[in-house]
Structure 1
Amino acid sequence: MTDDILQSMKGKFLLAIPGLPDPNFAQTVTCMCEHNESGALGFIVNKVHPLLTGRELFEDLNIKCDKSVDTLEIYLGGPVQPSGVFVLHGPPYDWNESLKVSDWLALSNSRDILEAIAVQKGPKSFMVVLGCAGWGPMQLDNELNDAAWLTCPISEEIIFSTDTQLKYEKAMMLIY
């Protein structure tokens, strides 16, 4: 076997196989933002932080915010870099640091997008995420070969419009 990845998972969902014992990933939907020979990066999109509010996050970051962040859910994106703040979002894509994931989705982690979100001037569709899921070179490929994950295309509706509790079930319906 060569060291080339078989198929990039960028722009796909990784779904935990039913019964996966790892508590970090049990019943998770992970949006894959990068997958190449250097490794893979994704964000769990169906685990809300049980304690942290949007207001607390923005105040911790010393970002001026308005009342809109009082009800903003903060997601747990994965066990890697748990204090890292990331934003999965739709247009616009002109933030200081953005990675285009698909034609309708980007990943940013710059202060300018957070400052805009804090005062309702950010993207219309977005999700604020703490931490990420990461894999080293060929690690995800090996897990996929071992059938540790199910895959399907990412869905704008699931990421931005589906109730968190229903995302796993809805994503499972996308498997073909």
Structure 2
Amino acid sequence: MDTDLTGKLLIALPGIGDPRFARSVILICAHSPEFAMGIVLNKPMPGLSLPELLTQLDVPVTGDVPDTFVLDGGPVAQDRGFVLHTDDVFNEGATLEIDDDLCMTATRDILHAMASQDAPRRSVMALGYSGWGAGQLEEELAENAWIVSDADPDLVFGPGHERKWRHALARMGIDSGRLQVDPGNC
């Protein structure tokens, strides 16, 4: 597969085989023949909210910070923060444009913006990311571990993490209750 999946969603199928990604919805932030990188959108970190994280990191809060969960973005670099946000905040050299209105920034500047009056219209913070080496994601797609879908701002930024997997499938016309772990034979 030589299609660029940047800005697409990966929706885990029941037979994915890796419990860390069971029922995951992942936004692909970067994709090339050498690697792929994405953020899990539907797995909040237990007991960690954005205001608590900003306090732990000594980021002064001068604006209204929503009391939202910090996401578990994936098993790689869980000591690093990644913020998905709208393009109204852009830091040249630090912000990665994912699509026309969606960006990712992994520097402290975005945390200060999120805590200020100049916050992005919409944003979500994740610790860690999901990563694939050369050909690894393409192999998983060929093994039917994932379904690829267009991104939806409500799936990226919205609440209801426990419903995002079912909602992502339903947007594609797939009833999650009808999915099987092992394909049948006729």
Residue 13 to residue 126, structure 1, CA distance change in 2 (3 Å): same
TM-score by length of 1: 0.89
For 2:13, which of 14, 17, 38 is the aligned residue?
17
Distance 2:169 2:14 in 1: 10
Say yes or no: does 1:142 pair with 2:139: yes
Q: CA deviation at 1:66?
A: 5.2
- 1:42 maps to which residue? 38
Residue 150 to residue 70, structure 1, CA distance change in 2 (3 Å): closer
Distance 2:140 2:17 in 1: 14
For 1:109, which of 91, 106, 110 is the aligned residue?
106
- 1:121 maps to which residue? 118
- 1:7 maps to which residue? 3
SS for the counterpart of 2:21 is coil
More displaced 10-residue stretch of structure 1: 21-30 or 61-70: 61-70
Q: State the identity as a percent.
A: 33
Q: Which runs of 5+ in 1 are unaligned?
A: none
Distance 1:168 1:88 in 2: 18
For 1:83, which of 67, 79, 86 is the aligned residue?
79
Calculate the aligned-residue CA RMSD, in Å.
1.9
Q: Which letter does structure 2 place at the counterpart of 1:160?
A: F
Residue 148 to residue 20, structure 1, CA distance change in 2 (3 Å): closer
Residue 58 to residue 44, structure 1, CA distance change in 2 (3 Å): same
Residue 24 to residue 66, structure 1, CA distance change in 2 (3 Å): farther
Distance 2:159 2:131 in 1: 24
Q: Which runs of 5+ in 2 are unaligned?
A: 174-186
TM-score by length of 2: 0.85
* Deviating 4+ runs (over 3 angstroms): 66-70
Q: CA deviation at 1:21?
A: 4.0
SS for the counterpart of 1:87 is strand
2:54·2:60 contact (CA, 8 Å) conserved in 1? yes
Q: Which letter does structure 1 place at the counterpart of 2:47?
A: L
Q: Which letter does structure 1 place at the counterpart of 2:60?
A: K
1:153·1:174 contact (CA, 8 Å) conserved in 2? no
Greater gyration radius: 2
Distance 2:71 2:91 in 1: 21
Matched residue count: 172
Distance 1:70 1:91 in 2: 19
Distance 2:134 2:57 in 1: 32
Q: Which letter does structure 2 place at the counterpart of 1:33?
A: C
Describe the superposition over 1:132-171 as per-residue Cα deviations: whole angstroms up to 9, x where unpaired.
0000011101111111111111111221235212211111
Superposition pairs for residues 141-160 of structure 1, below 5 Å? Answer: 141-160=138-157
